[in-house]
Amino acid sequence: MKHSALLFTATTLFAADLYKKPPQAIQEILNAPASPTASVSPTRTHALFIEPRRYPPIAELARPVLRLAGYRIDPASNGPQTGWTGWKLTLSALEPNAKPVALALPESVTLAPPRWSPDGKHFALLNRTGRSVELWLGETATGAVRRVPSLAINAAVGEPVQWMPGSKELLVQLVPSQRGAVPSAPAAPLGPVVQETAGKAGPVRTYQDMLTSPHDEDLFDYYATSQLALVNAATGAARPVGSPHVFLAAGVAPDGKHILVEYIHKPYSYLLSASSFPREAE
């Protein structure tokens, strides 16, 4: 008489494993420096070479992100989630036998592409930290860089920094100094989300990261509202310009005497991104 038996294998449960590293030879290949990208000055006399990070830290990828009106906003810094790729910059004159100068930046920088002044004598850098987006200014002649203190750049929506025509000032978007605390989510919905339909079939465009509730609207206003200001490149002093809005664009006149701005206002759409919201220009 034959008997059948089932053999069960007990598997011991262990704590979560840590990330493993490949052999050293593979690490050297994967961690080889990436080819730098060049940003040439308007005068074509100098260039900044930006070495990108090949692999962002897992802690950075795990940061909370808000998906609002077509934007992905990093709430900790009040900047975009993506676009921060540079971490080492080298300045070099575009002439034979020029010696590159490594910029004296903190090791932990996470940089956006540089902005050159119109005369090519200075450049501006945005650095994302765990608390804000910083403004750094550099001198082309020496390669010296410095952080502009007491400024929190709002890079969530619009153009966060641009040089004025005279190369002595920058037009920046700042986090409003009196904006208060982050809007808290209601314990229960205040009402239904109502959408209309004509009852007929028709093609509808779809977009990512749309607003879905009144609370999303409050969060979008909170993080996207900026105060325009003119920053003196020599002293770092900031002078507010106009009132806070959610700016989509700010165009400077060639003589630097006027600024044409476009900003959005309610009602907001839950089907379209912020670029399709109602807007005003002044």
pLDDT score at 61: 84
Higher confidence at residue 183 or residue 57? 183
> Where exactly are the structural domains of the chain?
35-179+207-281
Q: What angle do CA 145, 123, 237 make, to 5 degrees?
A: 75
DSSP 35-85: PPEEEE-TTSSEEEEEEEPSS--HHHHTS--EEETTEEEETTTTEESS---
Stretch 62-87: mean pLDDT:
92
Q: What is the pLDDT of residue 15?
A: 59
Are 175 and 204 in contact, with CB atoms under 8 Å apart?
A: no
At 114, is the secondary structure helix, strand, or coil? coil
The identity of residue 197, as a single letter, is T
Q: Is the pLDDT of residue 257 over 70?
A: yes
Neighbours of 37 (CB within 10 A): 14
Query: How buried is 72 (Cβ within 10 angstroms: 0-12 exposed, 13-18 middle, 19+ buried)?
Result: middle
Question: Please, which pLDDT band fits residue 191 given cuts at 50, 70 and 90?
Answer: confident
Highest mean pLDDT among 18-27, 100-109, 270-279: 270-279
SS3 of residue 145 by DSSP: strand
Q: What is d(CA 23, CA 5) in angstroms, rounded to the nearest whole number?
A: 43
CB neighbour list of residue 200: distance below 8 Å, 6 or more residues apart: none
Q: What is residue 24's three-state secondary structure?
A: helix
d(CA 106, CA 89): 11
Q: Is the pLDDT of residue 239 over 80?
A: yes
Residue 5 reports pLDDT greater than 60: no
The DSSP H or E segment spanning 280 is strand 279-281
Tokens of 116: 């050159």
Q: What is the CA angle 14-17-22, rounded to 5?
A: 145
Mean per-residue pLDDT of the chain: 91
Confidence of residue 185 (pLDDT cuts 50, 70, 90): very high
Q: Order across the sheet with 259-264: list the strands.
A: 246-252, 259-264, 279-281
3 — pLDDT class (breaks 50, 70, 90):
low
With beta carbons less than 8 A apart as the criterion, state whether 74 and 128 touch: yes
Position with higher pLDDT, 11 vs 208:
208
Question: Hunting for tokens 């590293």 — which residue is that?
Answer: 21
Assess if CATH 3.40.50 describes domain 35-179+207-281: no
What average pLDDT does this structure show over 184-201? Answer: 82
Residue 243 has pLDDT above 90, yes or no: yes
